[in-house]
Amino acid sequence: MHDIAQSIFNVSMISFVAGIMITLGLGVKISHIIEQFKETRLVIFSVLANFVAVPLFALALVSFFDASKGVSIGIVLLSLGAGAPFIPKIVQTAKGNTYGSIGLMLLLSVTSILFMPIVIPIIFPDASVSSLQIARSLLFTMLIPLIAGMMIKAYYPLLASKLSPWTNKISNLSVILLVFALIYLYTDVIISNVSVIPIIIIFFLGSMAIGYLSAGKNRTAQISLSVGTGLRNPPIAMLIASEHFASEPVAGIIALLMVIIGLSILFPLAKLIGKIEGDLNVF
């Protein structure tokens, strides 16, 4: 039974990430994305915040708390990967710039795919991972599905509208199977690591603050960057942890806890901001 659960975990992880990426691709026009990259300063500050400031903050955090190896790997992997697929939905709830948030998500996701294979072997030289292995994982599970979805949307919009609900259902089913398999396989590990929740909360709030400050006085950018920089990209972290750091299962669990904690904070906060924005617009 353990082997079956492990197989379900591995397959559902890949189908969850790939399903999210192709669904996102099927729902966005390339022209909307290009429009968001005209603000050069904001693009540069977004990249610096997510791929310089947040990783440095994560390294300082795990060092300060003297975190275990698995916890350190999980936090650092989260810090190196940005562009969570949940960003547009949260920004939309907060009545922010949805197209801008999609552009930000794609910028951060693609940068993560290029950035992580280079940096991870440097930070974890003792781990049995290579740049090529990580790049291959991210290429086939994220970049290719994303590009495929965007191409279908660009050339066959009617087909895209028909496929999108099905790819969304696949990713939803995959995450359900993923959670059940994870609970079956790692309940003891999850229980024994409840004490890491304060570290995750500090990391999440600190990353949000970095994103907020990097946006300057741009109100819509503050919303998008706070969400995007704070939430990171847990699916990427979980994928790499499960494939390349299997001996430290808590690393993947850290990413899962990040989703639970991050969304638990962000959705109520987004609804509150959206209500405030709506009330302001009335006047």
Please give the pLDDT value at position 217.
82
Q: Is the dihedral of CA 267, 168, 204, 178 positive or negative?
A: positive
Q: What's the CATH fold of domain 2-276?
A: Na+/H+ antiporter like fold (1.20.1530)
Q: Is the pTM of this model over 0.85?
A: no
Distances from the Cα of 196 to the Cα of 189, 193, 203, 248, angstroms? 12, 6, 11, 15
Please give the pLDDT value at position 134.
73
Please give the pLDDT value at position 283.
39
* CA pair distance 56, 48, nearest whole angstrom: 11
Please give the pLDDT value at position 78.
94
Please give the pLDDT value at position 278.
56
Please give the pLDDT value at position 128.
65
CA 48 to chain centre: 17
Q: Determine contact, residues 160/149, Cβ cutoff 8 Å.
A: yes
The per-residue pLDDT string of the chain (283 residues; one tens digit each, 9 = 90 and over) reads 777 877 887 787 778 778 877 887 888 777 766 766 777 888 899 999 999 999 999 999 999 998 888 899 999 999 999 987 777 777 777 777 777 777 787 788 888 888 888 898 888 887 666 667 777 777 787 778 888 988 998 889 899 989 988 988 887 788 788 777 777 777 776 777 778 889 999 999 999 999 999 988 887 788 888 888 998 888 788 878 887 887 888 888 888 788 778 877 887 887 777 776 554 454 3
Contacts (Cβ under 8 Å, ≥6 apart) of 12: 174, 175, 177, 178, 181
Structure token digits, residue 161: 């509208």
Distances from the Cα of 93 to the Cα of 33, 97, 202, angstroms? 20, 10, 24
Amino acid at residue number 218: N
- Show me where the domains of the chain are located: 2-276
Please give the pLDDT value at position 50.
95
